Amino acid sequence: MKPLLRKITNPFLIYVLIVLGISVPVYYVVIDGIWKSELDEHNKIIVEKTAFELNSLRLSDEKLQHSITIWNSIQPSTDIRKPGANDSGKDSIYTIEKQKSYVSHENIDRFRCLSTVVQINGAPYRFTVETNIEESIETIAAIAATTLFFFIMLVLGLLILSRRISTKVWAPFRDTVEKLKSFNLNSQHHITFQQTDTIEFHELNQSLEKLLKKNVAVYRSQKEFTENASHELQTPLAILKNKLDILLQSPNLTTEQYLQIEDMHKALSRSARINRNLLLLAKIDNSQFEHSEILRLDSLLLQSIATMLEHFEQKQLTVEKQIQPDVLSTGNSSLTEILINNLLLNAIRYSPSNNLIAIQLNKTHLEISNPGEVALDSDMLFKRFSKLSKNKLGSGLGLAIVLEIAQYQGWTVQYRFDNKRHIFSVQF
């Protein structure tokens, strides 16, 4: 993953580098060409001018010979001599490189030469002119250095500018991202994005707002549905329960019928409980509970243990308590009571008689353990309706509620199986 800015600038920079790289030989060819043609013209002018001047002196052949010798010795870059026997009489233009004659270390110069035949006093002479021209390596080096300088300027400029512009241009986008990051479907807060004059961001924000609005609405109606459905179920359940109560009073009831009514009562209580639990979960989901109360966990726990004492005793379960005094946390006391009760009830229900239940509370965690044979699937354990035991009495929601309450209050719940014991711990 790379930031967008680098993704855009990197190809730009590579492109600039390639273009500038190609420009170096191109510049060289162009500059060298211009230079050569200028020097060729210059050489030609020298030849013509010298020949014209020598002709206009109207010297005798002897004097002319003398002048040419002097000329040749004081003008090192030109050479006038009689053409040899095998002189073709043609002009030639060429470039040569030679060592400087007056320095000992290696110093090669490049020359542009013109060799042509001129008529002086009616006789043909081969006139050669050499003009110093910049060595190609020096030209290339100069162009490359200049190009490099401009490349660096471009890169720096591009980086600084794009960074500056991007902080400004992308500000609304970053704002949108931040708001989305902190958005929680549960909290139902309406998001409004920053105003922007960038068309793309404006469109993005508009579609996001639309999407969120719809999602929030769907989510809300779904949650309301759960809550309403549970509420609506309470009344028919109440009617059933009441009718059974009345049926129970029939004077000619047989014991068999009584037991059937009792079974119906129990099934009804279970469905009422499932319904109540679903309602509770929906309400936690809807954040309908205040959860900033200061809780005295030790006293809440002791209270719950006291309420359940007779159920511990009935199964001859020994309770081993290690409860620190003054354990405080924040949350909702009713919910916390439900959490503690569910954990305690689980321990009671799933322990064989004559066993030990250990309850430990300190500043950081609550731990409740009961004996068991094999470890339970900790992934499935806290899921709704994922009953792992064959015990048919539970609502299948007890531990889901424990998890939900813990998360709601910012706590974590863990299960582990250690030394043949199921251990549930809640970290505050």
Partner 1 sequence: MKILIIEDEEELAEGIATYLCEQQYLCEFASTLHDALDKIQLFQYDCILLDIGLPDGNGLRLLEELKKDNKQDGVIIISAKNALDDKIAGLQLGADDYLTKPFHLSELAARIYSLMRRKQFNNSNIVNINEIQINLLAKTVLANNHPVILTKKEFDLLMFFIGNKNRVISKSTLAEHLSGDIADMLDNHDFVYAHVKNLKKKLQDAGTYPYIKTVYGTGYKWEHQSDTSI
What is the chain's length? Answer: 428
SS3 assignment for the chain: CCCHHHHHHHHHHHHHHHHHHHHHHHHHHHHHHHHHHHHHHHHHHHHHHHHHHHHHHCCCHHHHHHHHHHHHHHCCCEEEECCCCCCCCCCEEEEEEEECCCCCCCCEEEEEEEEEEEEECCEEEEEEEEEEECCHHHHHHHHHHHHHHHHHHHHHHHHHHHHHHHHHHCHHHHHHHHHHHCCCCCCCCCCCCCCCCCHHHHHHHHHHHHHHHHHHHHHHHHHHHHHHHHHHHHHHHHHHHHHHHHHCCCCCCCHHHHHHHHHHHHHHHHHHHHHHHHHHHHHHHCCCCCCCEEEEHHHHHHHHHHHHHHHHHHCCCEEEEEECCCCEEEECHHHHHHHHHHHHHHHHHCCCCCCEEEEEECCCEEEEEEECCCCCCHHHHCCCCCCCCCCCCCCCCHHHHHHHHHHHCCCEEEEEEECCEEEEEEEC
Binding mask 183-222 for partner 1 (x = CB under 8 A): ----------------------------------------
In this complex, which beta carbon is closest to partner 1, that of residue 9 or of residue 275?
Answer: 275
The one segment of 213-221, 234-242, 361-369, 409-417 that binds partner 1 by CB under 8 A: 234-242
Site for partner 1 contains 365 (CB under 8 A)? no
Q: Are 91 and 44 in contact (CB under 8 A)?
A: no
Q: Which is nearer to partner 1, 47 or 381 (CB)?
A: 381
Q: Which of 241, 291, 384, 421 contacts partner 1 by CB under 8 A?
A: 241
Question: Applying CB under 8 A, which of residues 135, 245, 320, 377 lies at the interface with partner 1?
Answer: 245
Nearer to partner 1, 172 or 398 (CB): 398
Q: Which is nearer to partner 1, 248 or 380 (CB)?
A: 248
Nearest CB to partner 1, comparing residues 50 and 304? 304
Report the residue from 93, 237, 319, 358 that binds partner 1 according to the rule CB under 8 A: 237
Give least dist CB 411 to partner 1, A: 21
Identity of the residue, 172 or 331, whose beta carbon is nearer to partner 1 in the bound complex:
331
Q: Is 142 in the site for partner 1 (CB under 8 A)?
A: no
Q: Rank residues 173 and 424 by Cβ distance to partner 1 and give the closer one.
A: 424
Q: Is 235 in the site for partner 1 (CB under 8 A)?
A: yes
Residue 240 found at the interface with partner 1 (CB under 8 A):
yes
Residues 256-315 that bind partner 1 (CB under 8 A): 258-259, 261-262, 265-266, 268-270, 272-273, 276, 279, 288, 307-308, 310-311, 314-315
To which residue do tokens 């549960």 refer?
186
Residue 388 engages partner 1 in binding (rule: CB under 8 A): no
Q: Judged by CB under 8 A, which stretch of 57-65, 155-163, 181-189, 255-263 contacts partner 1?
A: 255-263
66/17 Cα distance (integer angstroms): 60
Interface size with partner 1, residues (CB under 8 A): 47
Stretch binding partner 1 (CB under 8 A), from 71-79, 229-237, 361-369, 405-413: 229-237
**Where on the chain is the footprint of partner 1 (CB under 8 A)?**
231-232, 234-235, 237-243, 245-246, 248-249, 253, 255, 258-259, 261-262, 265-266, 268-270, 272-273, 276, 279, 288, 307-308, 310-311, 314-315, 334, 341, 345, 348-349, 391, 393-395, 398
